[in-house]
Amino acid sequence: MMLNRLNRRDLLKYSSAAALSALAPRVALADVKTGVPLHGLSAFGELKYPANFTHFDYTNPDAPKGGTFCFSPGTWFFNQSPQTFNTLNGFSARGDAPPRIELCFDSLMTSALDEPDSVYGLVAETVTVSEDKKTFVFKMRPEARFHDGSPLTAHDAAFSYETLKTKGHPDLIVLMAELKEIVAQDDHTLRLGFSGKHSDRAILDIAAVIPIFSKAWYATRDFDTSTLEAPLGSGAYRAATILVGQTIEYERVPDYWAKDLPVQRGSNHFDRIRIEFFRERQADFESFKKGDIYWRTESVAKTWVTEYNFPAIQQKRVVKREFSSEKRPVLQAWAINERREQFRDQRVREAIALCFDFEWTSKNFFYDVYNRSQSLFEKSEFRSEGKPSPDELVIMEPLRDTLPPEIFGDALLQPTSDGSGRDRDNLRRAVELITAAGFTRQNGKFADSKGKPLNLELLIFAEVFTRSSTPFINNLNAIGINASLRLVDPTQYQVRLQDFDFDMIGAAYSLGPTPTEESLQAMFGSKSAAIPGSTNFPGLADPSVDALIQKVSGAKSRAELITIMRVLDRLLRIRRDWIPNWYSANHLIAYWDMFGFKEPKPDYGFPVETLWWRDEAKAKAIGKF
């Protein structure tokens, strides 16, 4: 799932109650045996873990419990506004919820972070798939409990799915669009039925992402209302200290019902997870330098290169380190809002892309820390290279009449410059493209045939973005686009994104390692283009894109999925609804040297707050008692 705040790290139980699932075959969803209770599902290939496994390999069951993990959400990346929160409902489109609120809720199944496309039972002990793969029957664990001790039943799960299908975040609504039947057959049996138009892997996202709420708790409350009352949950943590816009602290639930399930063993070590919020990036950094914040991910290259020389670094009390990134596709790009007429011509969007000088920006602002993004699926095997392969051509040929001719050549690369900051050839080409799109220059500024100026406003929510964005804006103005930078507060920024009230914004997302038709529709499909609050920020609505997304659901192997995704990547690059900009090849991390963790980190997730633990000997050695 593309929503970072909805990522789930959940667990499977093996006990006498799981004896039936222990007999279940380890099969792929593509050729899953029907009518047999299964302990897990995989899109392709066998599940790594059998039904009697004791814990995920990347966890440490012997790690000590205790201590506090304190960090700030200060990624300061585009759409990820870190400065505040105003609701504890993280699953609707209203308000800004704090990070990690998802730790308070359990789901039917959970992903393994060392597999790209497998889910295992959490609240659900087993799942049985119908012969036509339209119906999934979940046998729920009778021991599942909410934090107040009340039973978590199939009726609660049915209520949650029904509620989120109609009132949830738009991306969740798109995800469940083809889910037509939600039935609690009894307290411990839930049946989910699909229309037949769904991807056969839709269940992987739905079962692992959708949280389960208490039906009784919401009987006297409105789900879609922003609230600072912590909803009743069932997860490993619950919200404890809540200071709006300043601090949220989650406390570990000591009698958490699932704490002894095999994959829960070895995770959730900290007694408390505290998140501190800052309106200014520098205040955030100073708090870390003083030791009030214990862990930090750095997103400003200048800071990473020039400012990590404070006393605690020199004394080796703070560790500065790069961790490998996950094997997940990364989208970091500018989205151009094609709901506005001036941006509907592809040539205008290409001209805008030509005005960004990455080479100059990297040298002067990024200290060459970041790499140039070429793809919307960067850092993954879905990124296309060179000319289409024979397998790609098999996908493309039936669509030839609807595809742009250039897709049959080399994969589009983003423009390169001479590094001067104002490459004359690129800017000249940009002028030619806008002129060809029907705009004329009047007094140095482009206008359409009716005399309306070609305006472009880049919307940002933090001052830190002005430094790297200003040269881009200056180049746009130099060629005749009336460009400007608009800084708004985070709350207004989120409202404008939800209402699609912008010309251009930056966005950064980590996508799922095995995309489904439903998850791709949420960001690139016509179905989501007109849904307020969706992450289809450009308003992309192209039948050719939809056709390729639909083919994703029919992939019978990972190799076939990769082929289809590479063709989709080729098309998206040419369309330029999203303009890829830059990315970091690794996580830039600094932390006070008081933690233990298992290496290597898992390939498909980096949930430090649930996998690391406090090392008392290290803490005492640096004075952190």
> Among the listed ranges 25-39, 139-153, 203-217, 496-510, which one has the minimum average pLDDT value?
25-39
pLDDT (0 to 100) of residue 8: 29
Query: By C-alpha distance, which of 384, 391, 382, 385 is closest to 513?
Result: 382
Domains of the chain by residue range: 330-583
Q: What is the largest CA-CA distance in the chain?
A: 80
Confidence of residue 431 (pLDDT cuts 50, 70, 90): very high
Confidence of residue 77 (pLDDT cuts 50, 70, 90): very low
**Residue 333: what are its φ and ψ, rounded to 5°?**
-160, 165
Confidence of residue 10 (pLDDT cuts 50, 70, 90): very low
pLDDT (0 to 100) of residue 159: 98
pLDDT exceeds 70 at position 96: yes
pLDDT tens digit sequence for 346-355: 999 999 999 9
pLDDT (0 to 100) of residue 16: 26
Confidence of residue 45 (pLDDT cuts 50, 70, 90): low
pLDDT tens digit sequence for 27-44: 345 667 778 999 999 988
Confidence of residue 73 (pLDDT cuts 50, 70, 90): confident
pLDDT tens digit sequence for 533-570: 899 999 999 999 999 999 998 888 899 999 999 999 99
pLDDT tens digit sequence for 264-298: 999 999 999 999 998 888 899 999 999 999 999 99
**Residue 164: what are its φ and ψ, rounded to 5°?**
-70, -25
Q: How far is CA 562 from the centre of its chain?
A: 19
pLDDT (0 to 100) of residue 23: 30
Superfamily of domain 330-583: Dipeptide-binding Protein; Domain 3 (3.10.105.10)
Q: Over range 125-139, report the average pLDDT.
A: 95
Compute the distance between CA of residue 561 and CA of residue 555 in angstroms, rounded to an integer.
5
Q: State percent of the chain over pLDDT 70.
A: 93
Instruction: Compute the mean pLDDT over every residue in the chain, rounded to the nearest whole number.
Output: 90
Residue count of the chain, please give it: 625
Who wins on pLDDT, 12 or 448? 448
Q: How far is CA 243 from the centre of its chain?
A: 26
pLDDT exceeds 90 at position 174: no
pTM of the predicted protein model? 0.86
Query: Quick check: helix, strand or coil at residue 333?
Result: strand
Q: State percent of the chain over pLDDT 90.
A: 76
- What's the chain's Rg over C-alpha atoms? 25
Confidence of residue 158 (pLDDT cuts 50, 70, 90): very high
For 506, the token pair is: 């930056």
